[in-house]
Structure 1
């Protein structure tokens, strides 16, 4: 039993390493099995579908992002300052862990609802609390519809991260890495109003 759990974790470890070094395109069942040193059919014993394996790998990314969020807001009390810290951590994670970041938000590839409950929490149970925390902070910063504002804020930050990764924003901005922080501040100002009106 312990050995089986270890193999399951090894498959996830290999997948996480593969997505980190080679991106989502490299995440094939056969390649993960080969690198884990098992037969190509072995992953099916632990993950009934390819999507279930991808979801387990993505859940590892959400756990990592959640830990970064916790570290970013440790000791920060004001809601807007907490949002700023989370926004900065989100964009930094996207830039540092590009392959994992891409996988984590590809819910068209992930099995976020149909996972077997014995496989641990469903992916949605790992992701929704992160968003709900942002909604709660937005509600403290701005009246109105906090879910919509949080969704638009998230979309904007995701776009900043993606366009920076693709080097598109560098074409129009000249300040280098310092511009990432300015962009995060501008996103917050756009959706929450200026910090110091």
Structure 2
């Protein structure tokens, strides 16, 4: 009895998620995913006509996991926008540093620019949540621009922390002071005003 098509498609994505977690985004070849899934090297093409489509399906899992974590971090919405942004920033940095291969895959320019592959539908709601919180914390400013700058700042912290550069440059032993500084830079100092 052969495996059903949806089951094999899911298994190929599962294998890709495991592979990116263990070996990084560079290991995600169609041939290696097929080998680890125990199917012929041509089998993935039945479900994912291009390599980018398979990579996008794997990256969607990462965005889904990040969305779940972000929702848990923000909770019921009863805290201040600043507290939610702190929790969301911490969540983002912890995800990036704990899932380096997936994080790298999720933000590949070629995948994000392939709008037909569905990543915009999974990544933009996360940015929308950030924009909403920034808008509530800074009603005086263009929330999309401030949120974009804050996201770029957090992305840079994640990359530089992951490489060990920020620890060397700042002497910090965790990213919390950098998160606080990023929020202060984009939202103003907490309690000021």
Q: Report the TM range for the smaller structure's normalisation.
A: over 0.9
Distance in 2 separating the partners of 1:165 and 1:91:
10
What is the number of equivalent residue pairs in this alignment? 189
TM-score, structure 2 as length reference: 0.94
Listed as ranges, the matches of 1:98-137 within 5 Å are 98-110=100-112, 112-115=114-117, 122-137=118-133
Q: Does 1:182 align with 2:182?
A: no
Q: Distance in 2 between matches of 1:175 and 1:109?
A: 33
Deviation for aligned residue 1:41: 0.6
1:37 equivalenced with 2:38 (yes/no): yes
Structure 1 segments, 4+ long, off by >3 Å, are 109-112
Is the Cα contact below 8 Å between 1:16 and 1:100 reproduced in 2? Answer: yes
Superposition CA RMSD, Å: 1.5
Using the alignment, how far apart are the partners of 1:168 and 1:154 within structure 2?
Answer: 19
Gaps of 5+ in 2: none
Shift of 1:110: 4.9
- Structure 1 residue 108 displacement after superposition: 1.5
1:123 Cα deviation (Å)? 1.4
Q: TM-score, normalised by structure 1?
A: 0.92
1:52-63 → structure 2 map (5 Å cutoff): 52-63=53-64
- CA distance in structure 1 between the aligned counterparts of 2:43 and 2:58, rounded to whole angstroms: 16
Any conservation in 1 of the 2:166–2:172 contact (CA below 8 Å)? Answer: no
